[in-house]
Amino acid sequence: MQLRNIAIIAHVDHGKTTLVDRLLQQSGAFRENQRVAERVMDSNDLERERGITILAKATSVVWKDTRINIVDTPGHADFGGEVERILNMVDGAIVLVDAAEGPMPQTKFVVGKALKIGLRPIVAINKVDKPDARPDEVVNEVFDLFAALDATDEQLDFPILYGSAKEGWMATSPVAPAAQSDRSMAPLFDLVLSHVAPPAVEDGPFRLLGTILEANPYLGRIITGRITSGTLRPNQAIKVLARDGSLVEHGRVSRILAFRGIERTAIDLAEAGDIVAIAGLSRGTVADTFCDPAVETPLIAQPIDPPTVSMTFRVNDSPLAGTEGDKVTSRVIRDRLFKEAEGNVALKVEETPDADAFVVSGRGELQLAILIETMRREGFELGVSRPRVVVKRDEATGQLLEPIEEVVIDVDEEFAGVVVQKLSERKADMVDMRPSGGSRQRIVFHAPTRGLIGYQGELLTDTRGTAIMNRLFHSYAPYRGEIPGRRNGVLISTEAGEAVAYALWNLEDRGPMMIEPGCKVYPGMIVGEHTRDNDLEVNVLKGKKLTNIRTTSKDEAVRLTPPIRMTLERSLAWIDDDELVEVTPKSIRLRKAVLDPNERKKAERARAAGTAA
């Protein structure tokens, strides 16, 4: 059977996973009476809740006696480490673009990588059924993007299809075929067969480059990749080579799994060109070469863009530690973090002199927030610091460099002024501003990553929830100086116990609260935001003095303003450098890093003295 390997790449929410659903349905991968969830490839709970793809996944369909291996990739730049590796497995790419939004930052990021390694893309303009669709203009924008990314003449001569993945059709024109029977994905399948080359097969013994790593409770480590040369059978002896050619381990393949529709099936023979998953090796990981014992040279692995944001993950040492989670020791936290770093090449974990703290670096706050959310669902308790950018020094000049991101904001014209003003305060440079249809503006900035931490919530407030922001790592550039942080102080609890409604009611003049009556508190825990710029210690346990006087005014009902709901992402962006987010399976609490008030004052004086010096 002939083979084709393709990836579907696009910006977040442009319809990749829905497109894969339709391809699986129309190729006969499901039985007619089979019940299948919507967005079948988003198998992870967090992916279903958030409606985004986090992990790259492979599937396959059969069309006209040709097996097409399809890889669904994440759309968020924070998960770009997944996308870069996947491109090494495929011979073609379907670039999916929203007919209204046009090519967005992540499209540019992934397409740039795909063009660099010589893939010839197919452009599919999706969602042409939207009322604000502008397919012809979007095609021109895609061509301009390809040209700006130094595409070759052959790559610029890309085929174009239009359609709606949601309605299940693709065609050569933006107008849907009149007859319902003519509406299908057949034009896309046929184009893949004619435009994408069969996988290039090299001579020689078995070789495979590890691309996706996962853990299975029954089979152990499973590595997915494309076989570059040779064949593989179960129980065959192989070895693993690192990127530098050093030996990682010898072992035997216990199981070979091939993608057949949405299922993975054990097979007895895997041939060159096919994408398969292998089990049985205990140490081989992503970017390693799995090969015959006779092979001495590893396959070339794509270099990965560096992490730009880091956080400190600490053992939870609050008075409430261990009351809600069962994984609380530094050993289990360390093992979990290093296990995550093995499979996620965009993540880096470092140990610190403090045995109870680990520095975790990644592509952005979203990637780290997803990791924290996954860990808390597994029963972990953690104390997490504010995200910090990963800075480095220029070896030639000694100049301090910081990561700069390209920020694209789509906003109503009336709010464009406040967006430009706020980002200018955060040391961003505006590089482009143009209409994007429907009285909206598209503004492009180059902004330091430091200035964007915590800006998403402020942007939505300033634009009444109408702005859409997309970010992408651009480059390292000279440090741009101090950026003003949070302007308000915090309200800190002085006592341990359960918060009382009367005390919270009396404290409302001091600032908005973040806790409800009955919430457990402890000294050093943050219970609200102060209206002024200094921190204030308050007692939220103070009840009403009991008297035998009964009057209407004395017995006035306590009516509390609803507290601020602090989600995980909002908490991470909101806290200051001397504060932590306490994450448990049931709660998210904010606290000072130093709980004792006297020790905290000493630390503040030492910090002030260090700043003055």
Q: Which residues does the annotation place in the binding site?
A: 13-18, 126-129
Cβ contact 289:206 at 8 Å = no
Phi and psi at residue 240, to the nearest 5°: -120, 130
The rounded distance, in Å, linking the Cα atoms of 393 and 400 is 5
The rounded distance, in Å, linking the Cα atoms of 244 and 314 is 33
Phi and psi at residue 441, to the nearest 5°: -115, 145
**Residue 15 CB contacts under 8 Å (≥ 6 apart), including other chains:** 96, 98, 126, 127, 165, 166
Phi and psi at residue 559, to the nearest 5°: -115, 110
HSE-up (13 A, CA, CB side) for residue 133: 19
Across 490-603, where does the E strand assignment appear? 490-493, 497-498, 520-521, 525-529, 536-538, 579-583, 588-592
Q: Binding-site residues for GTP, please?
A: 13-18, 126-129
Q: Is 541 helix (H, G, I), strand (E, B) or coil?
A: coil
Q: Is 396 helix (H, G, I), strand (E, B) or coil?
A: coil
Cβ contact 488:533 at 8 Å = yes
Phi and psi at residue 75, to the nearest 5°: -100, -15
Percent of the chain that is helix, strand, coil (3-state, to 5) = 25, 30, 45
Q: How far apart are the first and last CA of the chain?
A: 72
Task: Annotate 470-507 with b (16+ C-beta within 10 A) or e (fewer).
Answer: bbbbbebeebbeeeeebebbbbbbbbeeebbbbbbbbb
Query: What dihedral angle (degrees, nearest 10) is formed by the CA atoms of 217, 218, 224, 227?
Result: 160
CA 158 to chain CA mean position, Å: 29
Over its C-alpha atoms, the chain yields an Rg (Å, rounded) of 27
Cβ contact 368:439 at 8 Å = no
Cβ contact 536:525 at 8 Å = no
**Residue 318 CB contacts under 8 Å (≥ 6 apart), including other chains:** 383, 522, 524, 525, 582, 589, 591, 595
The helix (run of H) or strand (run of E) holding residue 329 is: none
Both tokens of 488, joined, read 């308000």
Going from the C-alpha of 197 to that of each of 2, 119, 126, 210, the distances in angstroms are: 11, 10, 24, 22
The rounded distance, in Å, linking the Cα atoms of 45 and 337 is 20
**Residue 218 CB contacts under 8 Å (≥ 6 apart), including other chains:** none
Across 423-496, where does the E strand assignment appear? 429-435, 440-448, 468-478, 490-493
The DSSP line for 89-132 is G-SEEEEEEETTT-S-HHHHHHHHHHHHTT-EEEEEEE-TTSTT
Residue 124: name the closest of 199, 195, 27, 25 by CA. Answer: 195
